[in-house]
Amino acid sequence: MLKLNLLTAVLLFTILSLNSFPQEDYFGNIIKSDGFGNSYAAGSFKSKTITFGNFNLQNLGAGDLFLVKYDSNGKAVWAESISGTGNEEVISVEVDINGNISLLASSNSKEIYLDNSVIKNHSNEIIFNAEFNSTGRLTSSKVVKEIQQTGNISFKHSTTDTSITIISPSENDNWKVGTKATLKWEIENVEFILIELSTDNGVTWQYISATISGFDEYPVLVPNSPSDSCLIRISDYYNPAVADTSGLFKISGELYWAIKQGVYNSVLTSAFILDSNTCIVAGYNGISKTTNNGATWVNALDGIGLFDVYFLNDSVGWAVGLNGNIFKTTNKGNDWIRQDSSFNFHLLKVYFYNENNGYMISDRYFIKTEDGGATWTLTQPTSHVLRAMYFLNKDTGWIAGGEGVILKTTNAGSSWSYQQLNGTAYGTLTSLYFTAANTGYTSGSGLDIQGGVVLKTSNSGNQWSLAHNGFNRFIYSISFSTPDSGWIVGDEGIMFSTTNGGMNWELQGSGTLSDLHSITMKSNQVGWSVGNDGVILKFVHPTSNPVPVELISLNAWFKNNKVNLNWTTVTETNNSGFEIERKISAEWESIGFVKGNGTTTKPVNYFFRDDWENRVYNGDVSYRLKQIDYDGSYKFFEVVVNINTLPIEYSLSQNYPNPFNPSTTIKYSLKENVRVTLKIYDILGSEMVTLVDGVMPSGNHSINFDAANFSSGTYFYTIQATAVSGQAGNFIQTKKMLLVK
C-alpha cells in the first residue's frame, strides 16, 4: 500500500486549519496518495458546508462524508460528498496506482446518496463500499455488511474455517501492460477481501481493490510496471492472516497511450486531429479542444449531445448529434454556429468533400447537402440500421450497419448497391476506413462469431471477407496511419494494432477499462482515442528513426514556358511522397504532390512540370521538394531555376477549339507594351465584334470568344498591334476559324 508522504501531512494540516468550521465538526480524516504526487482526503463533517478550494459541499444530514483530491501543489482538483439523513463515518480509503479510489464507510442513514445512485439501509447500520475513478466519478457502490445491533461497529470473525484460493493468475502467466486481466479465486467464509499486487517478488505491495467476497473474479487494469517477479495476494480484509498468494508471473510490453485529463466525465464519441498539437473532441456534453497535445483543454461548445466531428481543412468543420443538431465552425473549432436541419432524429456521422457538398447518416437515412448545409435531402437506402460511413471523394462512398449490411454509391448517394459479404453472418458494423481506392476495412460485432470482427475488401468494396475475429469484445472504431498500419478499439478499453494490412492483429495496452468509441490516426506518431467516462488517450509511441530517403540527383530547367523538375532516389524508407513547393517572392507555396514508393532499395526516377504559359516573369524562382514520411516527419531539397516568360516576338495563335460551338479561346503574345485591337469579321469582311481595344502589356494573353448569337460559318479574327508613344512595333495578322452549330 502507498504510504503517507510529506505532501499528505501538509494537506492534513491545511484541511484542519483553513476550512471555515470548528475542528469538532470535522472528524475521521484519512489521507492517501497515488503514484503521481496526488493526494486524497476523506472524512466526515457536521457543519452545513465545507469548502475545499473552489469546491463547496453541502451537509444534508447529521454527519456527511467528503472525498477530495489534491494535486502535487496542494490545489483541490475535485471534491465529492456522500450524504444521508443520519451519520456516515469513513472506515478506510484505498487508492490504486491509477488514481482510482475505494472508500469503505459506515452509516445509520436509511438512504445514502452518492452522485445519481442511492444505497438503501434495511438494518440499524451498514458498511458500504463506493468506488470512484481518478476524475471523481462514481463507478460503483454496494452494501458490504448489515449490522442489526446498535452501538459501535465491530468486526467479528466466524469460528468456521476460512480460506482463500487464487485460481488466476497462474504461475508463468504473462500480462500485457495497460490491458484487462481477470483475477479469479475460490473462497470460504470470508465477507470482504483485499487484493494486492507486487512487482518485486513480495517485497512491496500495491493496492488493487477491496471488494465483497460474493464475487469470484475481478477485472484488473494491468499497471505499466513490467517485471518478471509479479505476485497477486488476496486476503481477508478484516483478518489478514487468511490469505493466498499466486505463483510468479510476468508483466510485459510497452504502453503507447497516455490518458489526458479533459473537461468532461461523460461519454466521448469522436475525435478529429487538426495538426500534431491540436485535437477536437466531441461527446454527450459538447466539444472540447486542445492546442498543446492534451496538456489543457477548453470548452468550445457546451451542453450539446454530439456523435461525430469532421473538418474539411484546419479551419472549417462540422459536428452532428442528438435531435438533428448540426454545428459549423470556420475558425478552427473555437466557435460553433448551429445550422438549421429541421430533423428531430439523431445524426451519427458527417463528412464534407468541399464547403458545399456534405453527407450525414442517421440510423435510417442518408442525408446530403449541395449548398453547404443550407438545405438537406434525405433518402433511405436500406431497411437496416446504419452506423458507419466513409467517402473517398465526392461521388464514391460506403455505408454500413446492422446485420452486416454494406452499401456502395458511385454517384454521391443518388443510388446504392449492396456489397457481397463472404463467409458467416455478421452483427452490427460500426466503422469504415479505406486506405486506397481498392482497399478498405470495416469493423463491428460478429453474429455467428463471438466478439468483434474486422472485414476487408481488395476490390473497392464489391466483396468483403473476414480479415480477423476472436477479439472477444465489440469493436467500435478502426483507423489506419499507413496502408499497412492500423488500429482498432472497443469495449472495456480493448485495443489491437496491425502492421501488415490486417492479416495479423496484436493486443495493445490502452491504459483504461472504459469503452473506447473512436480512434483516429494521423500518422505513425500522432493519434487519439476517446470513450466512456471522459477518457481521452494520446498516442505516445517513441519516435522511430528510419533510414532517410536518399536523393542522388535533383535537376530543374525552363523550356517552352514550363519548369521541369526531375529527381532520383537510390533508397527510400517509409516514403509517403514529395510535396512540391515554389517561392517567387518571400513565401513558399505548395503547387503539387508526387506519391512516393514507400520502402525500396531500388533507384526511382520522379518528374514534375510547372506550367508558366499564362504568366509573365523574368528572374530566379526557387523550387523545393518536401519529402514526407508516413509518420509525418519531413525534410527539404531545394533547387533554383531562372525563368524568362517574356515573348521574344509578336504572335497570334490558332483559336482552340476549332471548329467550335459556341465558344473558343484566342491567344496572342506581345514582346512590348503596345496598343492592341482584336476584331472578328464574317466571310464578307464585315466587322462583327471587337474583343480587345486598348494598351496591353508585354506577355502572353488569351481571351474567350462566345459566338452563341452568331450563325454557323467561316469567320476571321485579326490582331493589330501599334506602337505606343516612344516605342517601336507594328504587327498585323489574321487567322480563320469555323463555327459549327
CATH topology of domain 163-252: Coagulation Factor XIII; Chain A, domain 1 (2.70.50)
The pLDDT of 61-73, averaged and rounded, is 80
Side by side, the strands of the sheet bearing 475-480 are 475-480, 486-490, 495-498, 506-507
Question: What are the residue ranges spanned by the domains of the chain?
Answer: 6-147, 163-252, 257-539, 550-644, 651-739
Q: What is the pLDDT of residue 540?
A: 78
For residue 534, give the DSSP letter: G
Q: Where is mean pLDDT largest: 87-101, 207-221, 501-515? A: 501-515
Give the whole-number percent of the chain exceeding pLDDT 90: 39
Q: What is the pLDDT of residues 572-591, one digit of tens each?
A: 888 888 999 988 877 888 89
Looking up cell 463533517 gives 45
| Exposure string for 359-390, b = 16+ CB within 10 A, e = fewer | bbbbeebbbbbeebbeebebeebbebebbbbb
- Binned at pLDDT 50, 70 and 90, residue 312 comes out as very high
Beta strand spans in 481-617 (E): 486-490, 495-498, 506-507, 516-521, 527-531, 536-539, 550-559, 562-583, 588-600, 604-611
Q: Which of 595, 609, 604 is nearest to 568 (CA)?
A: 604
The confidence score (pLDDT) of residue 16 equals 40
- Give the chain's mean pLDDT: 83
726/585: higher pLDDT: 585
Is 149 a residue whose pLDDT tops 80? Answer: no
Identical fold, 550-644 and 651-739: yes
Separation of alpha carbons 416 and 409, rounded Å: 5
Mean pLDDT of 285-305: 89
Q: Which of 27-31, 510-514, 551-555 has the lowest mean pLDDT?
A: 27-31
Sign for the CA dihedral angle at 551, 552, 558, 564 comes to negative
Q: What is the DSSP string of 180-197?
A: EEEEEEEEES-SEEEEEE
- Mean pLDDT over 206-216 rounds to 71
pLDDT tens-digit series, residues 385-415: 999 999 999 999 999 998 889 999 999 999 9
Looking at residue 432, its pLDDT comes to 95
pLDDT top residue among 161 and 708:
708
pLDDT for position 148? 57
Instruction: Please say if the pLDDT value at position 30 is more than 90.
Output: no
CATH number of 6-147: 2.40.128
Give yes or no for residue 624 having a pLDDT over 80.
yes
- Which band of pLDDT confidence, cut at 50, 70 and 90, is reported for residue 6? very low
The answer to whether residue 97 scores a pLDDT higher than 70 is no
Region 108-121: mean pLDDT is 79
Q: Work out whether strand 663-670 and strand 326-329 pair parallel, antiparallel, or are unpaired.
A: unpaired
Asked whether the predicted pLDDT for residue 548 surpasses 70, the reply is no
For residues 268 and 533, which has the higher predicted lDDT (pLDDT)? 268
The three cell numbers of residue 147 are 449490522
Cell of 154: 465491530
Of the pLDDT bands very low, low, confident and very high (cuts 50, 70, 90), residue 35 is low
Residue-wise pLDDT for 638-656, tens only, equals 877 777 767 778 889 899 9
Architecture of domain 257-539: 7 Propeller (2.130)
Has residue 32 got a pLDDT over 90?
A: no
Q: What is the DSSP string of 380-395?
A: ---SSPEEEEEESSSS
- Note the pLDDT tens digit of each residue in 411-463: 999 999 998 776 556 788 999 999 998 999 999 886 655 678 899 999 988 88
Give me the pLDDT at residue 318, please. 96
pLDDT of residue 480: 94
pLDDT at res. 9: 40
Query: Residue 20: is its pLDDT beyond 50?
Result: no
Predicted confidence at residue 315, as pLDDT, reads 92
Residue 594: CB atoms within 10 Å: 14
What CA–CA distance (Å, rounded) separates 446 from 463? 17
Going by pLDDT thresholds of 50, 70 and 90, the confidence category of residue 670 is confident
- pLDDT score for 21: 37
Tell me, what's the pLDDT at 650?
86
What global pTM score does this model have?
Answer: 0.60
CATH 3.40.50.10420 assigned to domain 651-739? The reply is no
Q: What is the pLDDT of residue 678?
A: 95
CA gyration radius for the chain? 35
CA distance 360 to 370: 12
pLDDT of residue 2: 32
Q: Cell 500485457 belongs to which residue?
A: 176
**Position 152 pLDDT exceeds 80:** no
Tens-place pLDDT, residues 349-375: 999 999 999 999 999 999 999 999 889
- Name the β-bridge partners of 521: 527
CATH of 550-644, one of 3.10.20.740, 2.60.40.10, 2.40.128.110, 1.10.287.130: 2.60.40.10
Check residue 449 and give its pLDDT: 54
- Band of pLDDT at residue 156, cut at 50, 70 and 90: very low
Residue 398 backbone dihedrals phi, psi, to 5 degrees: -135, 150
